[in-house]
Chains A and B, each alone.
Chain A
Amino acid sequence: MHYALCAHMSLALLIDFGSTFTKILAVDLAAEEILAYAQSCTTVETDIMVGLRKALDLLPSHLKNAAYECRISSSSAAGGLGMVTIGLIPELSAEAGRRAALGAGAKVVKVYSFRLATREMEELESLNPDILLLAGGTDGGNSEVILDNARMLSRSGVRCPILIAGNKSAADEVQAILSAAGKITLLTDNVMPEVNVLNVEPARAMIRKVFIERIIEAKGLKKAEEFVEGILMPTPTAVLRAAQLLSQGTGSEKGLGDLVIVDIGGATTDVHSFGMGNSVQPGVVRKGLPEPLAKRTVEGDLGIRYNAGTILKLCGQDRILENARLSHPDLAQKLGRLSQCVETIPESSEDQDLDFALAACAARAAMERHAGSIETLWGPHGQYYIQHGKDLTAVETLIGTGGIFIHHPQAGALLEKTLFSPGEPFSLRPKSPSLYTDARYCLFAVGLLADRYPEIAFRIGRKYLKEWNE
């Protein structure tokens, strides 16, 4: 539902309860300007309002108690939205479930396939997810496995809501089995109603509904509703929503075309892409489960603080130093210290150089994992090209977000590290997009405003993107 602005009230307060920082953006909707930004440590473990009030106190005095048209927020606090998904075939329904969860802004802690083993059920109980997505079987297809998994779950100690998103012909019986055991269940459409047909939007919408109705309270975030109208969505959903708005535009604003957002954080490096990802070359055959229009991948081993040591193991010392200007003779020790002091902010030029090198490796690896790939096969009638995943080579816009893109003086060069390389032609990374950074850390705010004020949200997002093209 789109909202109309009142003439005398045009301020919005957008809040993100992040895993580390609570961030606030005060925006003048009529003037389409960001008026102020403030942040303070998130205090969800004690009282979420403490951190929020500290951040509010940092706003200019005239904005602290201003009359706001809306106060809305997103959240990735208290570990974000942790999900486990269960499907049948790993490459099919299990993968479809995983994509539905990722696209809903969740952190997918584990994916199970086939009939659950006893040890897997024990592991699932110990993971204690916020939501469990149970899929498996096309509509009218395999029902034995989803029913068997439902019986195992009914006898387990799993307490979280279970979203049933599998074979519709078995769904009612699955729900009956789980409900009889006192489990909280919700029904939605099959995430893979037919082989190689992805249908994740109904599951995403249901996950968001559960997040708002249940998870917020469970994580101690409900108290924030004393001040905000509501925590509308997980933070990654807000970013994905911003990606969609900026890509597609609105009725009166032309969008930026297919785009990719790279979000480098301390714990993960996430990539969001919006676009069909069709091949730009003629005659290419696409194989595999289709990719969602709005795709999100989360690389839990590529955060530049928590995983500084892992990045060294994955990429190697040589690759990290190739991206650095300084020699860093004690590289391993420095990275070890970074992974233990995760709130480190680079101060010296040496620190900044190391951060750049780490981020370059992390971003490049994350983009490679997110982008599709192409392989050449030789058959009796000649050469064929098979594409797996999205072809991002023709993406028009690439945006970097996250602290390093906002503060590092060479953020543009960092984005260039993620681009297509002639030495690796099989990896379908973007070739020549326009480069931008989220200079005012406002992508989450654009996503929050997108449903109510799409035109304004689009123009604010567009206005505050910092361009890095020559």
Chain B
Amino acid sequence: MKDKIKTVVLGVLGVDAHVVGNKIMAHALEAGGFKVVNIGTFSSQQDFIRATIEAAAHAILVGSLCGHGEMECRGFRENCVEAGIGEIHLVIGGNLVVGRQKWEEVEKRFLQMGFNRAYPPGVSPKQVIEDLKKDLANKKDA
């Protein structure tokens, strides 16, 4: 039986105009067989959540490239819970922090915030897509 097409919401969080990576990731996800709802740059947490509910998306992919991700992501999982999508698969990637910090510590902080995956800058879209397919297949309701 053919797997149902999975829908993902993709965007750039916060006061951030970086759009090239967003477009590249959108193309890669579509080529990888996903339906992409790309909400673009300058997106708030609520923009992601609203689009996810309306489109019945399976995952949220947050791009954050300005270095302020840790501040702007606070409460994201909690806001998802409030909105009734508390189990949504939540992924973040980009320049998540300012300055040089050990990636393992950065990743740990984002996972503790409620993200299912966190990626450093320069991660390949191929890796993200492979992980996403595996994670969604493992989810009970995927």
Interface residues, chain A, with chain B CB atoms under 8 Å away = 88-89, 91-93, 137-138, 140-143, 192, 194-196, 285, 287, 377-381, 384, 386
Contacts and interface: CB of A to CB of B under 8 A. Distances in A.
Contacts of B14: 379
Given A196-B39, A285-B42, A384-B42, A379 B53 contact: no
B67 interface: yes
B67 A380 contact: yes
A387 to B, nearest CB: 10
B39 to A, nearest CB: 7
A216 to B, nearest CB: 35
A167 to B, nearest CB: 9
11 contacts: A92-B51, A92-B54, A138-B55, A141-B56, A142-B56, A192-B54, A195-B51, A285-B41, A287-B47, A379-B16, A379-B66
Interface residues of B, number: 23
B21 to A, nearest CB: 14
Interface of B: 7, 9, 14-17, 35, 37, 39-42, 47, 50-51, 53-57, 66-68
| Chief secondary structure at chain B's binding surface | mixed
A378 B16 CA distance: 9
Given A89-B50, A92-B50, A384-B42, A141 B17 contact: no
A377 B35 contact: no
Contacts, number: 69
B48 to A, nearest CB: 10
B55 A195 contact: yes
A192 B9 CA distance: 16
A285 B15 CA distance: 11
Contacts of B15: 377-380, 384
Given A196-B39, A378-B15, A381-B17, A142 B55 contact: yes
Contacts of B51: 92, 195-196
Contact of A377 (B40, B42, B56, B67): B42
B41 A141 contact: no
A143 B50 contact: no
A287 B51 CA distance: 13
A88 B54 CA distance: 7
A95 to B, nearest CB: 11
A386 B54 contact: no
A89 B50 CA distance: 6
